[in-house]
Structures are given as structure tokens and as C-alpha cells.
Amino acid sequence: MAAYIQGRNVNLTFRPPNRNPVRALNNFDIDVQEGEFLSIVGPSGCGKSTFLNALLGLLRIDSGDLLLSGKSISGPGTDRAMVFQEFGLLPWRNVQDNVALGLELKGMPAEPRREVCRGLIDMVGLTGFETHYPHELSGGMKQRVGLARALATDPDVLLMDEPFAALDAQTRDIMQAELLRIWHEARKTVLFVTHQIEEAIYLSDRVMVMTKRPGRAKKIFAVDLPRPRDYEMRVTPEFNELKLKIWNELKDEITV
């Protein structure tokens, strides 16, 4: 059975004017099953975000194959959505209207649009904040809005580019647990980029380690830990044994 997302020998080079080309991805391979939660870790600049943007359809690969459900990705589509690190909320729109943005662009009428948004705002735990504006929200609340906005168009694939990096440690822990709850309810296919090995293990079915630039898949680790998961599992021997294995694979790729 073919994987839901497939990348084979994916190559991508940036060619900025008046500067040397930068090879971002080199013979990058990936397989992701439908409904899977896969995290990608790697050194800074290794091409993790570049790959997500190629999968989103914002970047065109130079060569290789990048497929979603057996079809080549040639541009953006409503079957994929991204949650960014920087929140990306429109400051002049309240929570309700930020969540509704993608539905407006699709031309959904106002009343069904409000109904969809009400359900998603409730799902991410922001009921009562529908009329609040981004400057009135905490970092964690902004990220919840971003997640609800991404889910609003009912994408098959959710791409998450270090979505919790700007949050404080306690809020990050809470958002990780909330993401697992929402993923369990929505059952989307998730690709999650992070620099934190512990976060990757806690969330994922599998964790991919990438090499330094030009990035390629170095090794994939299965996370054979039971679900549902709780914070206490992070102190178990099994969790920390896997954390050490991933670190040993990653540390050789990190250049100081």
C-alpha cells in the first residue's frame, strides 16, 4: 500500500540573485501514512521548513517526486494547511473573523461559516473569546486561533512549523497536550517541525532526523509508546531511552 504522502529524491536549490546558490534539500525521501503524526527534527538550516513549504505548494522542487494521495503537488490546495510559528493573525480581525478567513476565501455563506467557526473555537478552548482581538490574547491563545483557522477549511494534511517555539515552557506543555487532544478528535495527517526532541517524541507516531544542509532523511524512529499520553510519561525509562537514541543520531549533524 502506497504512503499517503511520498517524497522520492526531492531536490531543491535556492538561487538568489547576485549570490551563490544554496542547496536546501538533497535526495530527500519521506513516507507518511494517512492519519499519522510525524515529527521532523534536525539542525537549524537543514531544510525542515523548506520541505513543509514545498509540501504546502509554495515552493517548487527542482527534481524528484512529491506526491499527496498519489498525485503530484504542483501548488497550494485546500487539502493542506499550515500553522506557523509567528501566529500570522490579522490584527484588525477578531478571533471569530481570523478563524473564518479561509472559509471566506472559499466563498462559504456567513451563517454556515459562523457555525463552523463556533465549533472550532470551542474545540481549541476559546469559547467566550470570539470577539477578542489578537492584541488582547496571550501567546498560547493566539496559537489556538491559528490552529482553529488551519482546521477551518477541513484540510487532509496539517503542517506545523515550530508552532510552539515562541511560547513559554508551561504554555508549550499545555499546547502540546491540547494538540494531541485536537489531533485525536480531528484525525488529520500531521507533519510537525520542531527543534525539541522531547516534544517530537511526546506528540508523534514517528520521528525523522534530518542531516545538516543540504537536508536529507537520516533516520526514522518509531515511537512505540502508548496513547493517550500524559506528561508523566516523559520521565519513564522508555521515553528517555528513545530521547537518547535520537540525540545520538542528531548530534553529529549539529555544527557549532
What pLDDT digit, counting tens, does each position of 110-135 carry?
Answer: 888 888 899 989 888 889 999 999 99
The set of cell numbers assigned to 11 is 531536490
Instruction: Give the domain extent around 154.
Output: 38-45+74-253
Task: Dump pLDDT digits (tens) for 183-214.
Answer: 998 889 999 999 999 999 999 999 999 999 99
Residues β-bridged to residue 207: 39, 221
pTM: 0.90
The 10 Å Cβ neighbour count of residue 143 is 27
Going through the chain in order, the beta strands assigned E by DSSP cover 5-14, 22-32, 37-41, 63-68, 71-72, 80-83, 157-161, 189-193, 206-210, 217-222
Task: Dump pLDDT digits (tens) for 146-188.
Answer: 888 888 888 999 999 998 888 888 888 888 988 898 899 888 9
Residue 248, in any domain of the structure: yes
What is the torsional sign of CA 32, 37, 41, 45?
Answer: positive
pLDDT at 41 over 80: yes
pLDDT at 255 over 70: no
Residue 67, in any domain of the structure: no
Report the distance separating Cα 74 and Cα 229, nearest Å: 37
Report the distance separating Cα 157 and Cα 167, nearest Å: 24
Identify which has the larger pLDDT, 167 or 217.
217
Residue 158, in any domain of the structure: yes
Tell me how many domains the chain contains: 1
